[in-house]
Chain A
Amino acid sequence: MGLASSVKRDFTSVTWALIPLAICINIVVGQIASALKLPIYIDTIGTILVAIVCGPWAGALTGALSNIIWGLFAPGALPFFPVAAWIGFIAGWCGIWGLYKTWWKVIIAGLIIALTTPFIATPIVVYVYGGVEGSGASLITGVLIKSGMKISSAAFYKNLMVEPLDKIPSALIAWVLAKQMPARFISRFPRVENFAA
């Protein structure tokens, strides 16, 4: 399958209808998580969901636009749009590799997402923000710097520690939601074979 047809395949009218709602899920669930004072962001459920049901290209677009729209009321999120795009993209590939068939494979998918994002996120957080985000998790970076690490490695290892806690539950929730959809609805998505048994 060529690149153009692979991209085209992801985008049907159902995909276009789903993306804005998935972005709303990202934003709203992120806010629920902070209202429940959960120690994780889980603000990528919608992105991973689109990646599961519509494929990597739709996932990447959802992620990128999600951060750009978030940036309209919190511009600090804007520079991270490549990270969100990558999350959607790799989550979609996990589907093509057949990782959304059973729950333990979904954990592997979450782990793959979590272990690859620091490679994209670290250069951005170091170049733009000096390795620091405006949250308590930055103290981990601080401790690592104090222990003699360079700023970039400290930010990298901090991401590597924090990401699995965020991405594995996110992937599991997105997968459960996708699996629980009514059958007549599931059949309309472009990547049904990736998650429906």
Chain B
Amino acid sequence: MNHSLTFYIDRKSFLHSRNPLTKLTVTLTLMTAGFASPWPWAPFAMFFAFILPLAIIGRVATPFLKALAAMYLPFAFFLFLIHGFFHPASDDELLRIWIFSVQESALLYAAKTAGQVLVMLSSCVLLFLTTHPGRLMQDLQRRGLHWSIPYIVCSTLQILPLIRQRVRTILEAQQSRGLDTGGSLMARFKSLLPLVGPLFYGIMLDVEDRALALESRAVMRKGSRSFLVEIPDPAGERVFRYCCLTIMVGMIGLRTWQVMTSLWYR
């Protein structure tokens, strides 16, 4: 199995040894808190108060910050570019550069969104850095998730490196036969089919093999399964998950109530 595809880094830490569902619950709670908070700066505070320390506890702070920066910074750039400079002129203008007017309300909106997305992306990155997707899937299947979801997620992650290898082979083979992968837009569009075609028919042969294998292993049969690896789930974590769930429901309820009343009194 190739782990280099996903973020997962195998280390011994407090976070790595928690139950996968507990980590998923914490991730969802953090995301809910980020989106339900009425204050624009709260998500940033959450990031520095909870998520970053958790990354340090999980001993993945460096890869965490690197992965986050690669994803988050381009988004934040476009967010502040669009909302900073592309709003039509209005009363709360802060400054004006040529035809571009920068406004307080638009910047606050961008900041609020930037905070929410920061919490969402960082908590997901942290979850995937410290939790192997296979382990998360197995734990969910043990709790009653339909077998198809873990099967699809895990087999896709296993096949993907092989397919990527095949793409490289096809690309090199077609280029050695004179396929031009540069040039005008139309030329590049045309070079798409000689690449996708062979890839696809190779994959189709795999489908046949895999279908036979699935049938012979009785994958679609009903009933419970036994698992090779036991995933520990201490009682303390179970209580902790229920607390998170209560907080989450409370936050969603409170936010809904706030929005409803503000609409009512308008």
Contact of B121 with A by CB under 8 A: yes
Asked if B167 lies at the interface with its beta carbon under 8 angstroms from chain A, I say yes
Q: A residues engaging B (CB < 8 A)? A: 11, 13-14, 16-21, 23-25, 27-29, 31-33, 35-39, 45, 61, 65, 68-69, 71-76, 78-79, 128-135, 138-139, 141-143, 145-148, 169, 173, 176-177, 180-181, 185, 188
Q: Is the pair B188, A145 in contact by a Cβ cutoff of 8 Å?
A: no
With A32-B192, A78-B124 as contacts: A132 and B149 at CB distance below 8 Å: no
Interface string of B122-134 (1 = CB under 8 A from A): 0011001000010
Q: Is the CB of B82 within 8 A of A145?
A: yes
A146 nearest CB neighbor, chain B only? B86
Let me know if B220 is at the binding interface, CB within 8 A: yes
Bound-complex Cα distance A130 to B207 (A): 40
Q: Which residue of chain A has its CB nearest to the CB of B109? A: A130
B residues less than 8 Å from A69 (CB atoms): 152-153, 156-157
Chain B interface residues toward A at CB < 8 A: 5-7, 35, 71, 74-75, 77-79, 81-83, 85-88, 109-110, 112-114, 116-117, 120-121, 124-125, 128, 133, 148-149, 151-153, 155-157, 159-160, 163-164, 167, 171, 181, 185, 188-189, 191-193, 195-197, 199-201, 203-204, 206-208, 210-211, 213-215, 219-220
Contacts known (A16-B219, A130-B79, A145-B87); A73 close to B5, Cβ less than 8 A: yes
Cα of A29 to Cα of B163 in the assembled complex, Å: 11
15 further contact pairs, Cβ within 8 A, besides A13-B211, A19-B152, A185-B204:
A11-B148, A16-B148, A17-B210, A18-B207, A18-B211, A27-B160, A28-B167, A45-B196, A68-B153, A73-B6, A75-B125, A132-B75, A134-B77, A181-B201, A181-B204
What are 17 A-B pairs at a CB distance below 8 A?
A: A13-B219, A20-B156, A24-B159, A24-B163, A28-B164, A28-B199, A32-B171, A45-B196, A69-B156, A72-B6, A73-B6, A73-B7, A75-B120, A132-B75, A145-B88, A146-B86, A169-B189
In the complex, chain B residues whose CB is within 8 Å of the CB of A11: 148
- CB B37 to nearest CB in A, in angstroms, measures 14
Query: Measured between C-beta atoms, what is the minimum distance from A167 to chain B in Å?
Result: 15
Q: Which of B86, B167, B208 contacts A145 (CB 8 A)?
A: B86
Give Cα A28–Cα B156 distance, bound, in whole angstroms. Answer: 12
| Residues of A with C-beta under 8 A to B124 | 71, 75, 78
Chain A residues contacting B206 (CB-CB under 8 Å) are 17, 21
* Residues of chain A within 8 A of B163, CB atoms compared: 21, 24-25, 28
Structural contact, A173 and B196, CB atoms closer than 8 A:
yes
Query: Is the pair A20, B152 in contact by a Cβ cutoff of 8 Å?
Result: yes
CB distance from A172 to the nearest CB of B (A): 10
B99 CB to nearest chain A CB (Å): 8
For A143, list chain B residues within 8 Å (CB): 86
Cα-based distance from A173 to B196 in the complex (angstroms):
9
Task: Given A18-B207, A21-B206, A75-B128, check contact A146 B88 (CB 8 Å).
Answer: yes
Q: A17-B211, A131-B82, A145-B87 are in contact. Are A25 and B203 (CB under 8 A)?
A: yes
* B82 surroundings in chain A (CB, below 8 A): 131-132, 138-139, 141-142, 145
- Asked whether, in the complex, the Cβ of B152 is within 8 Å of the Cβ of A72, the reply is no
CB distance from A131 to the nearest CB of B (A): 7
Cβ of A76 and Cβ of B71 under 8 Å apart?
yes
In Å, the complex CA distance between A45 and B125 comes to 27
Smallest CB gap from A75: residue in B: B124
